[in-house]
Structure 1
Amino acid sequence: MPRAKERKQKPKGAPPSVVPVLQKFLKTYQKHCVQSRTSLCPAIQRDLKSSIDREQILRKFVLVRAGDSTTSTLPVSLEPLLMTIRDESYTQAKEICIWGLHLTNPEIARLALFLESKGHTICPITTLEIINCKMDLWSLGRLGKALQFSSLHFLVLDYCKFGNEELESIFSSLENNQRLQGLSLRYCGLGPQSGPKLGSVISQSAICELHVDGNHLQCSGTLALLRPIAEYAEMQGKDQPTSASPHTGNPPLLPQVCRGGSSALSQIPISSEAVTTRRPSQRKRGKRGIRKKAKRLMEAGPWVVSLHLADNSIDGTGKEGEQLLELTRILTCLIKYSTHLRELDLGNNVLGEMAAVGILEALRARKTGKLPPLKITVTPRISSDTFTSIWKHSKKSNRTRKKKKKWRNEGMG
């Protein structure tokens, strides 16, 4: 037992403990809440105390409403948190998550100023989540202007219901954004009319991870979103020399934030071949033979790495269904030619047997062309043979087979 205690003691020259920093942060946060006559956020208080007990840096701040059991009738506000980060020069925070609050114009104004301090800010936030929150048109416009000057890599606006004016404000602020890599607009009420805007945003920004699950894009909206991406992929695919596969030699460089790092949106599973290359003479040297990953951000263009379109009323019914055939053509073109695409979620959309067969043929062509593996999700409301074949061609199933083979070899050994 005494030896175990000795191990916990920090060696000479070790970095100072973070406990005093976090304790002071908590006191300052409590002071700002009292001065602004707002309630202390229970989640932030809990996370700070937990980080103090574990002696670990707190990088993610989650701002939620006070529980029903609280005796305080004061609202939880974003301003005290931002003021505390500023006053304490807390440089370790990377994520701010705001859930279920009614954000006022002064709160958004302070947040915008906080985000706009790129380059000289004490705390460059890379992920901002605003989930199920209420914001008016002015707030959305002010937040949109700040995006161009922020250090954000990921923006999440899930469950925020937007009207046409609000959506126009959001989309206009995202175009030509060269830093934002991930965007999530799940269950935001996006309709078919949002498709062209989404396609334009993808074409003119560096966004490579898009989540629009739970909306109503339908066939026409999805078609407008996918068309520029698919046409670009087809053009790039046909321009590739037949003797050199895009999956061998020099693969496409993906942005750092889209290559396996954790994010608020999802962790994109990308195979090691997609981001590193080995020389034939160095394959047995382990890490020495792996080239360093490029640190530069990818240029803007109509391509994506991860695309989530689940539950978007994409089916062959009604007037919208008349465009399902063209959508299938565009979709299969994207699967067949895109060297960037790694994940595609079409779950809970009734595409039908014909579209499913087209997807299966595109996956087979993708494999024949030696393109990077693709993880794809479709609804099981198709024939069992087609569904099983698509599942087998998905990247996930390939991993499973490799693990099974490894376990069998270990068992035989």
Structure 2
Amino acid sequence: MPRAKERKQKPKGDPPLVVPVLQKFLKTYQKHCLLSRTSLCPAIQRDLKNSIDRDQILRKFMLVRAGDSTTNHLPVSLEPLLMTIRDESYTQGKEICIWGLQLTNPEIARLALFLESKGHTICPLTTLDIINCKMDLWSLGRLGKALQFSSLHFLVLDYCKFGNEELESILSGLENNQRLQGLSLRYCGLGPQSGPKLGSVISQSAICELHVDGNHLQCSGTLALLRPIAEYAEIQGKDQPTSTSPHAGNPPLLPQVCLGGSSTLSQISKSSKAVTVKRTSQRKRGERGMGKKVKRLMEAGPWVVTLHLADNSIDRMGKEGEQLPELTRTLTCLIKYSTHLKEIDLGNNVLGEMTAVDILEALRARKTGKLPPLKITVSPRISSDTFISIWKISKKSNRTSKKKKKVNSLLSVWLSSSHKGALDEACASVEMGLFLRHSHTG
């Protein structure tokens, strides 16, 4: 008989001698902090020590403030971390998360140079999170220019307040970008005037996962964002046969759109060759949002897979509310025809009963057309019949499905076949309760 292995082998992706590499990294980081008269980041120091204890590589660097802001602590700076990554040629880091810092121009300049190295960068970052940070207009413009040449796949700028000029500085680096696929601008103070800018960027880039929850796009801003996506979906739905059935196990095909096109579909050339590529990965979503796996360039064009518009003051109130009927037509067009859209969150927006009924009819038309299932979230401030109908026809979350399967497996042991119908009804009630709780808290 073959001899049993005494110890479990490490994954092939882990490099040898992890502990000495991380120990040296920590010493170099401490040295750069001392030379620059800045404070050690407690989170980075903790994560490095934990990785050393577990003999695991560190892929994510979390940069946060040190101690209580009322005491006389030295500031935490981004520069020592980037200098350490450079000096140690640390190639395993994939994500940098900067939380709650006042970022200076020199820090952003070094970060920009770090991102602009593109394929030759020492640290091939795929994800950059800058959350609740303060940056001036020059820093935002410099960062925006760097995005044109970076290898980033996901960019998170949540809770960073942007005016019109600041937003334009950031988005200028995303036009014709075929690498960035996820963009999060949650609670950034975006108003209706931000909608056309976002719609233009979506039309001319490979971004297919957009999170703009907690802003004030209202009806006009949301309409400007959705219009190019919906028009493109309608053209594709009417001019081309329905894609592969969602139950066949194949993801929908992604179209290639001419680069440099305008934000409206009337100016996109229909005569371009229909080149399609399969999705390189399926995004696995954690609690905070963005997926992490991307293997190659995606195709640019006005289509999205995940769209979060929760809490954006979309309602019938005031002058903005006059555009709700047109927004409803655009939204339902997107639902009926988009073969790429898999998830849309409209929670905490008071859409009203008429809009909800139109969404329900669009979902039924989508199901009749055998398009991929769509997970949609709406506010429960509509009639219970319409809300339940939308919930039933929309795609259920994997988490809820797993819970239902677990309940079934536990109870089916002792439930007889005569109680099977009661079991299904009970599971549906539990599933509905979970969904309602998510809608009220989302």
TM normalised by structure 1 equals 0.86
Partner residue, 1:251: 252
1:411 offset after TM fit, Å?
5.5
- How far apart are the structure 2 equivalents of 1:121 and 1:374? 38
1:260 offset after TM fit, Å?
2.3
Partner residue, 1:260: 283
**SS of structure 2 residue aligned to 1:97:** strand
Partner residue, 2:35: 35
**Contact kept? 1:258, 1:268, Cα under 8 Å:** no
- How far apart are the structure 2 equivalents of 1:246 and 1:6? 47
**SS of structure 2 residue aligned to 1:387:** helix
Partner residue, 2:17: 17
Letter of the structure 2 residue corresponding to residue 260 of structure 1: R
Letter of the structure 2 residue corresponding to residue 82 of structure 1: L
**Contact kept? 2:145, 2:172, Cα under 8 Å:** no
- How far apart are the structure 1 equivalents of 2:294 and 2:26? 38
Letter of the structure 1 residue corresponding to residue 252 of structure 2: P
Letter of the structure 1 residue corresponding to residue 127 of structure 2: T
**SS of structure 1 residue aligned to 2:238:** helix
Work out whether 1:224 is the aligned partner of 2:247.
no
Letter of the structure 2 residue corresponding to residue 151 of structure 1: S
1:356 offset after TM fit, Å?
0.4
Partner residue, 2:182: 182
Partner residue, 1:287: none
Work out whether 1:157 is the aligned partner of 2:180.
no
Q: How does 1:380-395 map to 2 (within 5 A)?
A: 380-395=380-395
Q: How many residues align?
A: 383
Partner residue, 1:379: 379
Partner residue, 1:275: none
Partner residue, 2:73: 73
- How far apart are the structure 1 equivalents of 2:207 and 2:287? 14
1:385 offset after TM fit, Å?
0.8
Go from structure 1 to structure 2 and tell me whether the alpha carbon gap of 1:165 and 1:174 turns closer, same or farther (over 3 Å shift). same
Letter of the structure 2 residue corresponding to residue 227 of structure 1: R
Go from structure 1 to structure 2 and tell me whether the alpha carbon gap of 1:32 and 1:245 turns closer, same or farther (over 3 Å shift). closer
Go from structure 1 to structure 2 and tell me whether the alpha carbon gap of 1:294 and 1:246 turns closer, same or farther (over 3 Å shift). farther
- How far apart are the structure 1 equivalents of 2:306 and 2:88? 37
**SS of structure 2 residue aligned to 1:119:** helix
**SS of structure 1 residue aligned to 2:133:** coil
Q: Which runs of 5+ in 1 are unaligned?
A: 270-292
Q: Which runs of 5+ in 2 are unaligned?
A: 255-276, 414-442
- How far apart are the structure 1 equivalents of 2:305 and 2:24? 41
Partner residue, 2:130: 130
Question: Which deviations, in whole Å up to 9, do the C-alpha atoms of 1:116-145 show, x marking residues without a partner?
Answer: 111111211000011111111111111111
- How far apart are the structure 1 equivalents of 2:296 and 2:81? 32
- How far apart are the structure 2 equivalents of 1:294 and 1:152? 10
Q: How does 1:43-82 map to 2 (within 5 A)?
A: 43-68=43-68, 73-82=73-82
Go from structure 1 to structure 2 and tell me whether the alpha carbon gap of 1:255 and 1:166 turns closer, same or farther (over 3 Å shift). farther
Tell me the C-alpha RMSD between the 2 structures. Answer: 2.8
- How far apart are the structure 1 equivalents of 2:49 and 2:213? 35
- How far apart are the structure 2 equivalents of 1:264 and 1:30? 32
Go from structure 1 to structure 2 and tell me whether the alpha carbon gap of 1:398 and 1:364 turns closer, same or farther (over 3 Å shift). farther
- How far apart are the structure 1 equivalents of 2:25 and 2:40? 13
- How far apart are the structure 1 equivalents of 2:241 and 2:125? 42
**Contact kept? 1:62, 1:98, Cα under 8 Å:** yes
Question: Which deviations, in whole Å up to 9, do the C-alpha atoms of 1:374-407 show, x marking residues without a partner?
Answer: 1111001001111111111121168856874686
**SS of structure 1 residue aligned to 2:119:** coil
Letter of the structure 1 residue corresponding to residue 394 of structure 2: S
**SS of structure 2 residue aligned to 1:122:** coil
Go from structure 1 to structure 2 and tell me whether the alpha carbon gap of 1:127 and 1:43 turns closer, same or farther (over 3 Å shift). same
Letter of the structure 2 residue corresponding to residue 266 of structure 1: G
Partner residue, 1:363: 363
- How far apart are the structure 1 equivalents of 2:47 and 2:372? 40
**Contact kept? 1:391, 1:397, Cα under 8 Å:** no
TM normalised by structure 2 equals 0.80
- How far apart are the structure 2 equivalents of 1:267 and 1:20? 32
Letter of the structure 2 residue corresponding to residue 124 of structure 1: P
Go from structure 1 to structure 2 and tell me whether the alpha carbon gap of 1:257 and 1:306 turns closer, same or farther (over 3 Å shift). farther
**Contact kept? 1:255, 1:297, Cα under 8 Å:** no
- How far apart are the structure 2 equivalents of 1:178 and 1:264? 26
Go from structure 1 to structure 2 and tell me whether the alpha carbon gap of 1:399 and 1:35 turns closer, same or farther (over 3 Å shift). closer
Question: Which deviations, in whole Å up to 9, do the C-alpha atoms of 1:138-191 show, x marking residues without a partner?
Answer: 111111111111110001111111122111211222211111100011111110
Go from structure 1 to structure 2 and tell me whether the alpha carbon gap of 1:387 and 1:153 turns closer, same or farther (over 3 Å shift). same
Partner residue, 1:279: none
Go from structure 1 to structure 2 and tell me whether the alpha carbon gap of 1:22 and 1:71 turns closer, same or farther (over 3 Å shift). farther
